[in-house]
């Protein structure tokens, strides 16, 4: 997939008044030291299966240090000019709704990632830059590490700034069943005296 610049389909930020909007350029995002996802496809597939996003849907998720999902929320972007401050407020409201903050920690432990389903191709847009700014600021205000920003289009998904992506899932694809997007939970061990006692108690 290519990585470049394209005009935002949602709004143009080229006017002087719009220059005050909060936007992160790709170079600024790359210099921010955003942690890489170990298995981005698993994260994307899991969020896609849970939230079934359509165009203009944002999915924000919080991952623990082992990249296990701790909380997630989705919402539809309002038809207004793209602005990082507005996106920050929307993301922060969702984070506060689904998970307590980590502001008492000296160093953030959990990481927030954002997946946004939109029109267009995988190239960076100014709308993406506004989402990046909003995600970074919302994470700071909630005591989280700022994680990956992922776009979901009809061409597939892409982690912007990393060049990693795939064709499925896409904005048009049906969600994968959880069995293929997540590892199944481990079954408890059986055997031994304790297991025999539990088995007999369950049989009563």
Write out pLDDT tens, residues 46-65: 999 999 999 999 999 999 99
Is residue 196 situated within a structural domain?
no
Is residue 46 situated within a structural domain?
yes
Cis peptide leading into residue 169 (ω within 30°): yes
Is residue 80 situated within a structural domain?
yes
Give the separation between CA 168 and CA 174, rounded to whole angstroms: 9
Q: With pLDDT > 90 as the criterion, what percentage of the chain qualifies?
A: 63
Give the separation between CA 84 and CA 137, rounded to whole angstroms: 9
Is residue 26 situated within a structural domain?
yes
Is residue 101 situated within a structural domain?
yes
Is residue 86 situated within a structural domain?
yes
pLDDT at 80 over 60: yes
Q: Average pLDDT of 73-94?
A: 94
Q: Which residues partner with 150 through β-bridges?
A: 115, 159
Structural domain of 94: 17-174
Residue 39 maps to which CATH number?
3.40.140.10
Is residue 121 situated within a structural domain?
yes
Is residue 199 situated within a structural domain?
no
Q: Which long-range contacts (CB under 8 A, 24 or more apart) does 79-82 make?
A: 79/10, 80/11, 81/10, 81/11, 81/13, 81/18, 81/21, 82/8, 82/10, 82/11, 82/13, 82/21, 82/23, 82/126, 82/127, 82/130, 82/131
Q: pTM for this one?
A: 0.77
- Dump pLDDT digits (tens) for 110-157: 999 999 999 998 899 999 999 999 999 999 999 999 999 999 999 999
Instruction: Provide the domain count of the chain.
Output: 1
């Amino acid at each position: 997939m290519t990585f470049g610049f394209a005009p935002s389909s949602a709004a143009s930020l080229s006017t002087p008044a719009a220059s005050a909007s909060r936007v992160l350029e790709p170079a600024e995002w790359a210099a921010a030291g955003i942690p890489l996802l170990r298995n981005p496809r698993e994260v994307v597939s899991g969020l896609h299966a849970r939230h079934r996003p359509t165009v203009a849907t944002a999915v924000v998720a919080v991952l623990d240090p082992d990249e296990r999902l701790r909380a997630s929320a989705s919402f539809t972007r309002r038809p207004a000019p793209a602005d990082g401050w507005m996106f920050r407020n929307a993301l922060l409201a969702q984070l506060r709704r689904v998970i307590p903050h980590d502001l008492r920690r000296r160093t953030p432990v959990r990481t927030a990632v954002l997946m946004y389903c939109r029109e267009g191709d995988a190239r960076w847009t100014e709308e993406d830059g506004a989402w990046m700014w909003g995600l970074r600021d919302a994470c700071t205000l909630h005591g989280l590490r700022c994680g990956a920003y992922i776009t979901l289009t009809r061409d597939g998904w892409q982690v912007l700034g990393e060049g990693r992506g795939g064709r499925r899932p896409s904005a048009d694809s049906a969600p994968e069943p959880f069995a293929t997007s997540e590892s199944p939970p481990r079954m408890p061990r059986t055997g031994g005296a304790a297991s025999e006692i539990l088995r007999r108690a369950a049989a009563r």
